[in-house]
Structure 1
């Protein structure tokens, strides 16, 4: 699927890989090498790895962030990246699954079939519908404890709790419920 990004917009690449049985240690070494190289790339912002919770199904999800789509593309076209990807084929089962996202897209539960990202205004509207009740709820629940705290600390507490619940389960549930409206062509 082709995504469109503005030149000044950061981009996140979500990568899913199912590691072959008996190859987890080799995969981990390969990933550390790759991440060390990424860390030297212009525009690289960071990487997070979600390790498998089920040893019988060792699927790794890696979240890579770059400052711009151009920086990501430059990295993906580099000889170092291409050489590492060739070595990866011996360590995984099947194909690598890639998903590019920018802005709020990463928070949205996308349909199983490829579909363009929802319009930005729809993403913002769903975000507000999700976050506003959480802010009100956590402001009310924490105010007995935080009312004597400095305003910035009370707000940080509310923002942290709201963000935790917004990320999971609120936005994934909202996007599932609103899928026909967010992704009208993917039914």
Structure 2
């Protein structure tokens, strides 16, 4: 598991970001095990919350879990506890590969409307200043790439872990991968081998978070991206169609250029989705969107069927009325 903690004991909160590759076919068992871990963490002083991020669209099968504590000493008390060690031994049959952990101090919490990469480095002894200078060059290169949202560098924590950890954020997974796979980064990594012996990269994905309220309470998970996308289309299609038939004509009658009419229509559609339709969709499909309530195949198929029927009904209604 990989971990990162933010802000030290002198004030603010501490965060541990845990990543773990899970054996194929063990996803549901891992989720149930992770719920036990969260319930155990809740009993420790300073616990503030948990966020669970399922694997992205790639085949890495890597889960990311974020634990938040009030202070660093409270975080380390949980990390070093006998209860946590016992749970790790219990969950070991579900894991693929060894566990890893990085503990960080300082910095902002992970934003759910961005995609974050957590990169840990084993820096060569005596090359720390060269590593810092190299990191500043990496940051300047990142800033030139589309979708870049910021970067933070965390020094080792005495007595906890020896690695340096860089966190950088992009607006989408595509933009993050564009940077990770770029020739410019490859050249920088080749140079960086002079300053560090090894590094690991982990990604913390999220999407459409502003329209989904799951995952705000301790231990609550967010819906998979494909469910979020299906639900957004369910609300977006009638919104855009109705606005085109009403506001679109009204803007045209007012003599507004097409590009301005489209801009105002987009503003209206986003407002309607955010404050009206998406909250309704969240409530109506909560049985399917909430990961903790959609464990069985029957619930999964029912949810997909409901969304598909709604799509078909909307297409039929608008097909008949617009003619």
Q: What TM-score do the two structures reach when normalised by structure 2? A: 0.36
State the superposition RMSD in angstroms.
4.6
| Alignment map for 1:96-175 (pairs within 5 Å) | 96-104=99-107, 110=119, 113-115=121-123, 167-169=169-171
What is aligned with 2:195?
185
Retained in 1: the 8 A contact 2:8–2:106?
Answer: no
SS in 1 for 2:88: helix
Deviation (angstroms), 1:34: 0.8
SS in 1 for 2:96: strand
Q: Distance in 1 between matches of 2:118 and 2:84?
A: 29
**Per-residue CA distance 1:80-125 (angstroms, 9 max, x = gap):** 21210111211101112222223228778536x3249987xx99xx
Q: Distance in 2 between matches of 1:99 and 1:31?
A: 19
What is aligned with 1:18?
21
Q: Distance in 1 between matches of 2:118 and 2:90?
A: 31
What is the number of residues matched between the two proteins?
A: 154
What is aligned with 2:69?
66
Retained in 2: the 8 A contact 1:16–1:61?
Answer: yes
> Can you give the 5+ residue segments of structure 2 that lack an aligned partner in the other structure?
111-115, 151-167, 180-184, 198-323
> Can you give the 5+ residue segments of structure 1 that lack an aligned partner in the other structure?
131-161
Structure 1 pair 115/15, CA: closer, same or farther in 2 (3 Å)? farther
Structure 1 pair 171/184, CA: closer, same or farther in 2 (3 Å)? farther
Structure 1 pair 109/78, CA: closer, same or farther in 2 (3 Å)? closer
Retained in 2: the 8 A contact 1:115–1:183?
Answer: no
Q: Distance in 2 between matches of 1:171 and 1:25?
A: 28
Deviation (angstroms), 1:51: 0.3
What is aligned with 2:88?
85
Q: Distance in 2 between matches of 1:108 and 1:56?
A: 17
Structure 1 pair 97/109, CA: closer, same or farther in 2 (3 Å)? closer
Structure 1 pair 179/6, CA: closer, same or farther in 2 (3 Å)? farther
Match of 1:8 among 7, 10, 20: 10
Q: Which moved more, 1:9-18 or 1:44-53?
A: 9-18
What is aligned with 1:44?
47
SS in 2 for 1:97: coil
What is aligned with 2:56?
53
Retained in 2: the 8 A contact 1:51–1:61?
Answer: yes
Retained in 2: the 8 A contact 1:49–1:60?
Answer: yes
**Per-residue CA distance 1:125-168 (angstroms, 9 max, x = gap):** x7xxx7xxxxxxxxxxxxxxxxxxxxxxxxxxxxxxx969x831
Q: Taking CA–CA contacts closer than 8 Å with sequence separation of 6 or more, which of the two structures ends up with the larger relative contact order?
A: 1
Deviation (angstroms), 1:42: 1.0
Q: What TM-score do the two structures reach when normalised by structure 1? A: 0.57
